[in-house]
Structure 1
């Protein structure tokens, strides 16, 4: 069952990517999943996922990014943060990190990379509420560098959409 976001989010899916059912894509808690069929290789299909939730706690975005590293470590091997940076403003902060790890698929081990972006947004209905949205590109090493520009364009298009706009794609 697909997850939901506590606030509506608008974004643009890059060309060459297709919406996918979160359950079928192996991301049942994601509010949105897109896959890149042109990148399909045996046992590997690049994906972009979007999820998020209210975070009333005082955790920083770096703390939340650390939580994701720990959660990934429960299902993957050799999780390593290869890069992390903060961006944005104090009113609209963000954290990005790149992870490398391996997973066992069938009887073979696959090396994967993830670029995770965390955006802090204010709920326009209740400005006292903080929402943290997570955007993730997952791909094998060969796909990762090729698809990173698409992912960056996707991230740049993400906006809170209090009016539930008609253009682009919207989840919430």
Structure 2
């Protein structure tokens, strides 16, 4: 069952990407997933969205560290290749790039790269209330750079849902 996000958002999938069917995607806590139409060596690059409400005083770096530890639980060695705080005081964000190897269904081990973006949405009525949304791109090491621009396009399209929809 898909998780729900702590704050409604709207976004636009890059051209060609397809929403993943829940039964075809196994990721606990994921609110939304999409897959690239051209798998690399049997692995479909994917974009996932999840989130939650960070406890008071918890930094984005601590949240990102916890994400690395969760990934280590099934991937073993995880290397943080890059991490940077971006955004502003009012709208903090963090990006990180992780490299790891994981076993596939057939027992083959694949070298994967995951780019993560953590966005914080602060309640305008109560600045002490924060919601965090994590956007992640996971792809084979060979395909990652070729789908990264799509992911960056996707990240730029994410914004709080105004509820004005049509």
TM-score range for the pair, normalised by the shorter chain length:
over 0.9
Asked if the contact 1:51/1:133 (under 8 Å) is kept, the reply is yes
Equivalent residue number for residue 156 of structure 1: 156
Alpha-carbon deviation of 1:124? 5.3
- The CA deviation string for residues 70-112 of structure 1, in whole angstroms up to 9 with x for no partner, is 0100010220000011111000011100000001113211110
Rounded to whole Å, the distance in 2 between the matches of 1:24 and 1:129 is 34
Rounded to whole Å, the distance in 1 between the matches of 2:51 and 2:144 is 23
Equivalent residue number for residue 81 of structure 1: 80
Asked whether 1:45 is paired with 2:44, we answer yes
- Relative contact order (alpha carbons < 8 A, sep ≥ 6): 1 or 2 greater? 1
- Structure 1 segment 25-36 matched on structure 2, within 5 A: 25-36=25-36
Runs of at least 4 residues off by over 3 Å: 123-128
Rounded to whole Å, the distance in 1 between the matches of 2:43 and 2:107 is 14
- The CA deviation string for residues 36-56 of structure 1, in whole angstroms up to 9 with x for no partner, is 012x13431100000101113
Q: Aligned residues, how many? A: 165
Rounded to whole Å, the distance in 1 between the matches of 2:140 and 2:124 is 37
Tell me the TM-score normalized by structure 1: 0.90
Give structure 2 stretches of 5+ with no counterpart.
none
C-alpha change, 1:124 and 1:20, in structure 2 (3 Å) is farther
Equivalent residue number for residue 58 of structure 1: 57
Alpha-carbon deviation of 1:7? 1.2
Which stretch of structure 1 is more off in the superposition, 118-127 or 70-79?
Answer: 118-127
Equivalent residue number for residue 144 of structure 2: 144
Alpha-carbon deviation of 1:160? 1.1
- The CA deviation string for residues 89-142 of structure 1, in whole angstroms up to 9 with x for no partner, is 000011100000001113211110000110111245755320011000000012
Tell me the TM-score normalized by structure 2: 0.93
